[in-house]
């Protein structure tokens, strides 16, 4: 009897140790990746690298200014396209919870979220690049906007569902019309959750490469025109990593470091927003 | 008669009414837009795959040759490559994601150590896939090559195996977070009942928590499979990009997503492009079905006591 109990206790302890070990083992890749990014990336970083344009192989210097600017332009385009629609759909879903249409839309949002990004690249290519006959920042922005939509819709809907009904009723009882109640009472109350959703969706698309391969395409020069091809950080990393030149690999490491800095900063800010302005009722 | 409502106020009411109707219509239409968007995506893909569908028909799925020069397109190598990498990645990731969900959902629900692990996992999830691919190509693939030399296999470095490992790292956070949520939902009454009968924690996990959370864990695994199937950049960089059926798990291959990434921009000729779009259509349909199954499992078997 005693032996059996001891056996069970040992089994229990062993299991816990295995769980803890495996859990922390799965975070090892993070440290490996960060270690190499810092080791290989930081040393080729300097101010010139951030403000200069790329130079051909063999020439010293050269930077990634066009890619940084391009990434921000792509983010602006896709935010501009996806945020208004995303918030509207979120409002619709949280305001019409019981309608069958809402359930259908919810399903569709789930499916939209599951579509591989490369497929959205094909779509943006067929919708915009082919009719226009050339690659453009706009088409990249459209592909990224479709990726952002589900995240924004879900965070808006979930946040608005947390806002108490009494708040809305109070506004109605004062004679506020429906649109005003939503836009100036309910929406501001949930602004933190919506902002978090937007930031998370931006951090997700900031590192996205696949849909840009044949939409935004890449461009070795500075470009501010949204109807022309544009460079982006992830695409530049891809190009440089594929190249056979060690000095370009070095630049890819540095660019990766910058990219991960941008993505982690966005994540961090979204955490702060949650903490600071969390919906509390 | 006394006029209770001034003309100005009446006008304001009217304005509010108009805006109200406008607002309701806008949010309704944006909802409808989502439905139209998905149909438009599906129709665009289908319509543009017609040339390839017409020429190859069902043979597209089991054709072994992918030869743009002779306009012969069969997607079997990519289907096999995709299935191999995703399922291998899934199998490798399960012990880890399972451990993390138990760790965060049962052993350490709150406190410093739990928020540390949570933060690390979130950071892991936040790393862009291009960086996984880049790191995999320059740091991990040489390690694999070294092992292959030791084992006496052709040392490619890149290949199905390398891609699967990188993929598994990428999907761990995803299935772990779903698993954790379900494990946290297990009511404490039934756990306490088991403890009161003298069960150890391991026994509670094995006999109470897992049966209860089974469907949620399963759907987490299914949904992360959907993600693995569609993952592009990281796989493209380490899979080896060979358009032949892989001989073993160490040989280079190609997946559906990576062949699109590699060849789409350079595809000349309508048939070539259309064949690539058809691969995109297959990818779309497969991930759609997997997502629907995953969500069905989570809804259908959502435990209720």
HEC states along A161-184? HHCCHHHHHHHHHCCCCHHHHHHH
pLDDT of residue A278: 62
- What is the arithmetic mean of pLDDT over A249-259? 92
Average pLDDT, chain B: 90
Q: Which helix (H) or strand (E) holds B252?
A: none
Distance, CA of B50 to CA of B271 (rounded, Å): 9
| Residues 39-98, chain A, touching B (beta carbon < 8 A) | 85, 88-89, 91-93, 95
In a domain, B1, yes or no: no
pLDDT of residue A280: 58
Question: In degrees rounded to 5, what are phi and psi of residue B253?
Answer: -150, -160
HEC states along B254-303? CCHHHHHHHHHHHCCCHHHHHHHHHHHHHHHHHHHHHHHHHHHHHHHCCC
Instruction: Dig out the tokens for A197 from the structure.
Output: 């959703």
Looking at the structure, tell me whether residues B158 and B234 fall in a common domain: yes
Confidence label for B302 from pLDDT (cuts 50, 70 and 90): low
Give B102-122 pLDDT, tens digit per residue: 999 889 888 899 999 999 999
- Interface check for A174 against chain B (CB to CB < 8 A): the answer is no
> Where does residue B152 fall: left (phi above 0), alpha (psi -120 to 50 degrees), or beta otherwise?
left
| Residues 61-120, chain B, touching A (beta carbon < 8 A) | 95-97, 99-100, 102-104, 107, 117, 120
Count of structural domains within chain B: 2
Question: Does B138 contact A101 at a Cβ distance shorter than 8 Å?
Answer: no
pLDDT of residue B181: 87
Place of tokens 């469907």: B215
Residue B230 contacts residue A111 (beta carbons within 8 Å): no
| Residues 29-58, chain B, touching A (beta carbon < 8 A) | 30-31, 33-35, 37-38, 41, 44-45, 48
Domain extent listing, chain A = 2-44, 47-276
> Where does residue A135 fall: left (phi above 0), alpha (psi -120 to 50 degrees), or beta otherwise?
beta
Average pLDDT, chain A: 90
Confidence label for A61 from pLDDT (cuts 50, 70 and 90): confident
DSSP letters for chain A: -HHHHHHHHHHHHHHHHHHHHHHHHTTHHHHHHHHHHHHHHGGG--HHHHHSPP--TTSS----HHHHHHHHHHHHHHHHHHHHHHHHHHHHHHHSTTSHHHHHHHHHHHHHHHS-HHHHHHHHIIIIIHHHTS--HHHHHHHHHHHHHHHHHHHHHHHHHHS-HHHHHHHHHTT--HHHHIIIIIHHHTHHHHHHHHHHHHHHHHT--GGGTTTTB--SS----TTS-B--HHHHHHHHHHSS-HHHHHHHHHHHHHHHHHHHHHHHHHHHHHHHS----
Looking at the structure, tell me whether residues B23 and B122 fall in a common domain: no
Looking at the structure, tell me whether residues B49 and B65 fall in a common domain: no
| Residues 115-154, chain A, touching B (beta carbon < 8 A) | 115-123, 125-127, 146, 149, 153
Give A240-249 pLDDT, tens digit per residue: 998 888 888 9
Residue in B with minimal Cα distance to A236: B130
- Interface check for A263 against chain B (CB to CB < 8 A): the answer is yes
Looking at the structure, tell me whether residues B20 and B158 fall in a common domain: no
- Give me the residue from B41, B48, B95 closest to A22, CB to CB: B95
Question: Does B100 contact A33 at a Cβ distance shorter than 8 Å?
Answer: no
Burial class (CB in 10 A: 0-12, 13-18, 19+), A24: middle
Neighbours of B114 (CB within 10 A): 15
Confidence label for A279 from pLDDT (cuts 50, 70 and 90): low
CATH label of the domain that carries residue B151: 1.10.3720.10
Looking at the structure, tell me whether residues B27 and B94 fall in a common domain: no
Question: Does A117 contact B226 at a Cβ distance shorter than 8 Å?
Answer: no
Bridge partners, B73 (sequence order):
B66
Looking at the structure, tell me whether residues B201 and B148 fall in a common domain: yes
Distance, CA of A148 to CA of A212 (rounded, Å): 14
Question: Which residue of B52, B143, B231, B233 to mutate against A (max A Cβ within 10 Å)?
Answer: B233
Any idea which fold A47-276 has?
MetI-like fold (1.10.3720)
- What is the arithmetic mean of pLDDT over A3-25? 92
Question: Of B228, B7, B118, which Cα lies nearest the Cα of A26?
Answer: B118
Looking at the structure, tell me whether residues B236 and B131 fall in a common domain: yes
Question: Does A101 contact B34 at a Cβ distance shorter than 8 Å?
Answer: no
Query: Is residue A174 pLDDT above 80, yes or no?
Result: yes
Looking at the structure, tell me whether residues B230 and B116 fall in a common domain: yes
In a domain, B151, yes or no: yes
Question: Of A273, A95, A257, which Cα lies nearest the Cα of A193?
Answer: A273
Relative to beta strand B72-73, strand B66-67 is antiparallel
Confidence label for B1 from pLDDT (cuts 50, 70 and 90): low
Q: Which residues of chain A lie closer than 8 angstroms to B104, CB-CB? A: 23
- Interface check for A103 against chain B (CB to CB < 8 A): the answer is no
Q: Which residues of chain A lie closer than 8 angstroms to B99, CB-CB? A: 18-23, 26
Residue in B with minimal Cα distance to A8: B200
pLDDT of residue B304: 45
- Interface check for A260 against chain B (CB to CB < 8 A): the answer is yes
Q: Which residues of chain B lie closer than 8 angstroms to A241, CB-CB? A: 133-134, 137-138, 237
In a domain, B72, yes or no: yes
Looking at the structure, tell me whether residues B159 and B296 fall in a common domain: yes
**Interface pTM, i.e. ipTM:** 0.91
Confidence label for A120 from pLDDT (cuts 50, 70 and 90): very high
Query: Is residue B305 pLDDT above 50, yes or no?
Result: no
- Give me the residue from B35, B227, B233 closest to A238, CB to CB: B233
- Interface check for A100 against chain B (CB to CB < 8 A): the answer is no
In a domain, B259, yes or no: yes
Give A186-197 pLDDT, tens digit per residue: 999 888 889 999
Question: Does B44 contact A126 at a Cβ distance shorter than 8 Å?
Answer: yes
- Give me the residue from A36, A242, A259 closest to B128, CB to CB: A259
Listed in order, strand segments (DSSP E) in chain B are 66-67, 72-73
Looking at the structure, tell me whether residues B40 and B82 fall in a common domain: no
Give B46-92 pLDDT, tens digit per residue: 999 999 999 898 888 888 888 888 888 999 999 999 999 999 999 99
Residue A279: HSE in the Cβ half-sphere, 13 Å Cα cutoff: 22
Query: Is residue A41 pLDDT above 70, yes or no?
Result: yes
Distance, CA of B138 to CA of A261 (rounded, Å): 20
Looking at the structure, tell me whether residues B36 and B70 fall in a common domain: no
Give B251-271 pLDDT, tens digit per residue: 899 999 999 999 998 888 889
In a domain, B2, yes or no: no
Distance, CA of B56 to CA of B275 (rounded, Å): 9
Question: Does B237 contact A207 at a Cβ distance shorter than 8 Å?
Answer: no
Question: Which residue of A94, A95, A105, A114 to mutate against B (max B Cβ within 10 Å)?
Answer: A114
pLDDT cut 70: percent of chain B above it = 97
Residue B160 domain boundaries: 61-300
The alpha carbon torsion through A58, A249, A204, B143 (nearest 10 deg) reads 170
In a domain, B125, yes or no: yes
Looking at the structure, tell me whether residues B223 and B249 fall in a common domain: yes
Q: Which residues of A203-227 are buried (b: 16+ CB within 10 A; e: fewer)?
A: bbbbbbbbbbbbbbbbbbeebeebe
| Residues 135-174, chain B, touching A (beta carbon < 8 A) | 135, 137-139, 169, 172
- Give me the residue from A89, A121, A127 closest to B44, CB to CB: A127
Give B190-237 pLDDT, tens digit per residue: 999 999 998 999 999 999 999 888 888 888 899 899 999 999 999 999
Distance, CA of B151 to CA of B149 (rounded, Å): 5
């Amino acid at each position: 009897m005693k032996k059996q109990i001891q056996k069970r206790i040992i089994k229990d302890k062993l299991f816990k140790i295995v769980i803890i070990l495996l859990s922390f083992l799965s975070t090892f890749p993070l440290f490996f990746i960060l270690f190499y990014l810092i080791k290989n990336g930081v040393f080729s970083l300097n101010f010139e690298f951030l403000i200069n344009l790329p130079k051909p192989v063999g020439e010293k210097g050269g930077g990634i200014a066009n890619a940084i600017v391009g990434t921000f332009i792509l983010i602006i385009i896709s935010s501009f396209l996806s945020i208004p629609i995303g918030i509207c759909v979120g409002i619709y879903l949280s305001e019409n919870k019981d309608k069958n249409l809402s359930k259908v839309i919810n399903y569709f949002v789930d499916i939209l979220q599951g579509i591989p990004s490369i497929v959205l690249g094909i779509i943006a290519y067929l919708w915009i690049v082919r009719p226009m006959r050339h690659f453009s920042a706009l088409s990249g922005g459209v592909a990224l906007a479709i990726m952002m939509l589900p995240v924004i819709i879900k965070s808006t809907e979930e946040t608005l569902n947390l806002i108490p009904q009494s708040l809305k009723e109070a506004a109605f009882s004062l004679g506020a019309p429906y649109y005003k109640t939503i836009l100036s009472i309910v929406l501001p109350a949930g602004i933190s959750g919506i902002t978090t959703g937007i930031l998370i969706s931006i951090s997700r698309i900031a590192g996205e490469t696949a849909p840009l391969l044949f939409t935004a395409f890449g461009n070795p020069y500075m470009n501010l025109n949204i109807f022309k091809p544009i460079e982006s950080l992830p695409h530049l990393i891809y190009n440089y990593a594929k190249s056979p030149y060690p000095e370009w690999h070095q630049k890819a490491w540095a660019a990766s470091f910058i990219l991960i800095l941008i993505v982690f900063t966005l994540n961090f800010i979204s955490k702060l927003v949650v903490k600071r302005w969390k919906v509390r009722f | 008669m006394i006029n209770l409502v001034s003309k100005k106020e009446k006008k304001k009411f009217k304005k509010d009414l108009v805006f109200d109707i406008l607002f309701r219509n806008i949010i309704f239409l944006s909802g409808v837009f989502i439905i139209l968007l998905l149909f438009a995506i599906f129709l665009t893909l289908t319509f543009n795959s017609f040339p390839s569908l017409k020429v190859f028909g069902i043979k597209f799925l089991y054709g072994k040759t992918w030869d743009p020069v002779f306009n012969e397109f069969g997607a079997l190598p990519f289907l096999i490559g995709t299935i191999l990498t995703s399922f291998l990645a899934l199998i490798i990731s399960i012990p880890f994601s399972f451990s993390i969900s138990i760790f965060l959902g049962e052993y350490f629900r709150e406190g410093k150590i739990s928020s540390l692990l949570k933060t690390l996992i979130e950071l892991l999830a936040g790393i862009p896939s291009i960086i996984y691919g880049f790191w995999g190509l320059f740091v991990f693939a040489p390690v694999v090559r070294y092992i292959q030399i030791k084992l006496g296999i052709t040392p490619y470095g890149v290949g199905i195996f390398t891609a699967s490992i990188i993929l598994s790292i990428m999907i761990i956070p995803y299935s772990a977070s779903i698993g954790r949520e379900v494990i946290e939902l297990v009511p404490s009454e039934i756990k306490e009942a088991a403890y009161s009968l003298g069960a150890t924690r391991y026994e509670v996990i094995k006999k109470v928590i897992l049966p209860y959370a089974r469907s949620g864990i399963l759907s987490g695994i299914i949904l992360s499979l959907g993600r693995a199937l569609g993952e592009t950049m990281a796989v493209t960089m380490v899979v080896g990009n060979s358009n032949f059926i892989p001989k073993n798990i160490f040989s280079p291959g190609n997946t559906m997503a990576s062949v699109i990434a590699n060849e789409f921009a350079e595809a000349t000729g309508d048939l070539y492009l259309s064949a690539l779009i058809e691969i995109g259509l297959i990818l779309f349909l497969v991930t759609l079905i997997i997502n629907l199954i995953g969500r069905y499992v989570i809804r259908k078997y959502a435990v209720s006591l």
